[in-house]
Structure 1
């Protein structure tokens, strides 16, 4: 089942079948979970004048392959801003929660443009796409990732963090206009920034993920986008990091802040 077919199922019913091909180890990739909840949130808002401002995701428990239930509740609907909560359920328990705020544009004299400048990479077509390692999560096959800065995961690097290009894999996804739900699916595909420091294979997973949406998407699924992550702090089995995502015209699209659980 394609992402579009899954989005359609969300529009028609509470219960959906999570599509195949998105496992991250024995559980479902968190970006897909966030994307499905975002699609439910947008359907709940149903107001084209209100665009996504920010969303916060808590990954409560592991989401398994199979059936899942999505529920949504409008927390508050104001003239400018509407806040909605979406929950994903399996086995009669909440496994993930998304809270998103959507807002209509308002007149304001305050204009600040100090966003991070996009890094200057060689063109993605001149760099090798990262090959899917047999031990890598299944979900990585859904995207093309191109490392431009930093080291690969599990290379015992003395420093964390990396940057590069990304897009939906053309062999897996028919090209079309990119949606906010697609953005959530794609943005989380890069591994945690501390993974290059790992000396051997070991798990790490997202605990919380906050995304601020900056400029409207003008992308197709197969357009390249730029990504860069920075780790603020890591100790005691947890790490905190932030990441930026730009489109191929160097427009800042979104900023993410994430708390990671580290098992190494």
Structure 2
């Protein structure tokens, strides 16, 4: 059944996908890019942080001499809205194997003044040039087959406008992390799922920036509900993912002072750890 789901979904290709179209930028001048942030990547009215990181990641791939993100750290300053935005990039350093740049995404307020939404610092390289030597104690998450997991389509009908993001994803959640959906959160702060793009586009380094921030927040399994806005998110891309669905595991071990950390691992169909991330997020208590 899992093989059938994957096969029927595989339609779009890298460069010819809704994800690629909605993260595409127009270069206005060297280091300056225009984009219309799509409402298709929102939850309620908030633009997803992983989608925004992919937008900035694509701009830096164009601005820097290297094309693959190795590490990218983002600070989310103000909430982004669907609509026009400007991305400004600066090249900090270029080297033979790594180049470093920074970028900011800005939108306009009601008075027409620029408001900075996100600022990132990133190092880029060539993932295909990395050695094959892997020494790790990490293991892929134990997730049931896709046909034994559950997606948004298996739950009640969403509120209008609340599920634009999930409508663009192939997201199948591990039943053992779905207690929150039944009113019985486990309290463990874990979330695991199969992940892909709905149109079947295979994963690449830029889509990994989306994958780490596309699952329901671990706060739900701790017993909290509501928006969990990201304050800071750092992603390490470890290698180019193989074709096929990804497995994403999120874990939170500490919630204190109204903030929690969320650690993510992303594994590809070849059982390789292709991305890791940590984010700090704010939660609303009570």
Do they fold alike, i.e. is TM over 0.5? yes
Measured after TM superposition, the shift of residue 129 of structure 1 is: 2.6
8 A contact 1:57–1:97 mirrored in 2:
yes
- 1:29 is matched with which residue: 38, 48, 52? 48
- 2:123 is matched with which residue: 90, 101, 106? 101
1:72 aligns to 2:72 (yes or no):
no
Number of the residue aligned with 1:211: 235
1:42 aligns to 2:66 (yes or no):
no
State how many pairs are aligned. Answer: 254
- SS at structure 2 position matched to 1:204: coil
Number of the residue aligned with 1:242: 263
Deviates more, 1:232-241 or 1:145-154: 145-154
Q: Structure 2, unaligned stretches of length 5 or more?
A: 1-16, 109-113
Measured after TM superposition, the shift of residue 109 of structure 1 is: 10
Number of the residue aligned with 2:190: 161
Measured after TM superposition, the shift of residue 115 of structure 1 is: 4.7
**Which of structure 1's runs of 4+ aligned residues deviate more than 6 A?**
107-110
Measured after TM superposition, the shift of residue 252 of structure 1 is: 0.9
8 A contact 1:143–1:186 mirrored in 2:
no
- Note closer, same or farther for the CA distance 1:126–1:87 as it changes in structure 2 (3 Å cut): same
> Relative to total residues, which structure has the larger helix share, 1 or 2?
2
8 A contact 1:11–1:43 mirrored in 2:
no
1:140 aligns to 2:157 (yes or no):
no
What's the C-alpha RMSD, in Å, of the aligned pairs?
2.7
8 A contact 2:60–2:103 mirrored in 1:
yes
1:55 aligns to 2:68 (yes or no):
no
Q: Structure 1, unaligned stretches of length 5 or more?
A: none
Measured after TM superposition, the shift of residue 141 of structure 1 is: 1.6
1:251 aligns to 2:272 (yes or no):
yes
What's the TM-score, normalizing by structure 2? 0.79
8 A contact 1:115–1:252 mirrored in 2:
no
